[in-house]
Amino acid sequence: MPIGAKIGTSSLRRKSQLLNFRKDLIITDLRGNLDTRIRKLNTSDLDGIVIAFAGVKRLGFENLISEIIPFEIMLPAIGQGALAVEIRKNDEEVYNIVRNLDHRESRQAISAERSFLRRMHGGCRIPFGAYGFIDNNILTLEGLISNLDGTQIIKRKVRGKSEEAELVGIKLAEGILNAGGEEILEELLDEISRIPGKRE
């Protein structure tokens, strides 16, 4: 992207991490479904848009992807890419069908990410990011909190046993909060409460 490139995204999490990586970028709000966002890229003065790879791939637009942003630059939203199946309580027949879909390692990684989010006391309007993965029963969880303009990011990584996923998430949150994340969170909640139409 050229210096001062105009990038579209609707996510405060993406915006803050992009600005932390490249302060020269101009981030503009981009809303609508995937088709609408791609159309805006082609009909506006945007130099690029940032959207989830999974949706682009699912709709067969992979040829439009110019770059997959690595985790070193941008962590995903908590639980991004994971699917959950909800069934009726005590429905043994359906339970026996869907339990075969369960992927234990994905569930454990997402449990850690969600535990991190709960301990951070944040909602969907806060620039949080987290990504967990398991290798040889060891869960690695990386997470961050950022202010809105990306000038302050606290990012940490922890490891633990995969069967203790929720504890790993709490440990990561505590580390970030104690490293200054608590102050960033308080400032964010105050800032976001003053943005028209934006809620935590």
* CATH number for the domain that contains residue 154: 3.30.160.40
- Asked if residue 1 is part of any domain, the answer here is no
Same domain, 60 and 18: yes
Classify residue 30 by its DSSP letter.
-
How far is Cα 74 from Cα 88, in angstroms, rounded to an integer?
A: 37
- Asked if residue 85 is part of any domain, the answer here is no
Structural domain count of the chain: 2
Same domain, 96 and 187: yes
Same domain, 115 and 151: yes
Same domain, 51 and 123: no
Q: Of 64, 79, 105, which closes a domain?
A: 64
Sign of CA dihedral 136, 106, 20, 49: positive
Q: Residue 58: give its domain's CATH number.
A: 3.40.190.10
> Which residues does residue 8 pair with via DSSP β-bridges, in sequence order?
28, 49
- Asked if residue 189 is part of any domain, the answer here is yes
CA atoms within 13 A of residue 174's CA, in its CB half-sphere = 7
Query: Whole domain around residue 21: which residue ranges?
Result: 6-64
- Asked if residue 114 is part of any domain, the answer here is yes
Per-residue pLDDT 10s for the chain (200 aa) are: 899 999 999 899 999 999 999 999 999 999 888 888 888 888 888 999 998 888 888 888 888 899 999 999 999 999 988 888 899 999 999 999 999 998 999 999 999 999 999 999 877 778 999 999 999 999 999 999 999 999 999 999 999 999 999 999 999 999 999 999 999 999 888 877 776 655 44
Helical (H) or strand (E) element with 192: helix 182-193
Helical (H) or strand (E) element with 21: helix 12-21
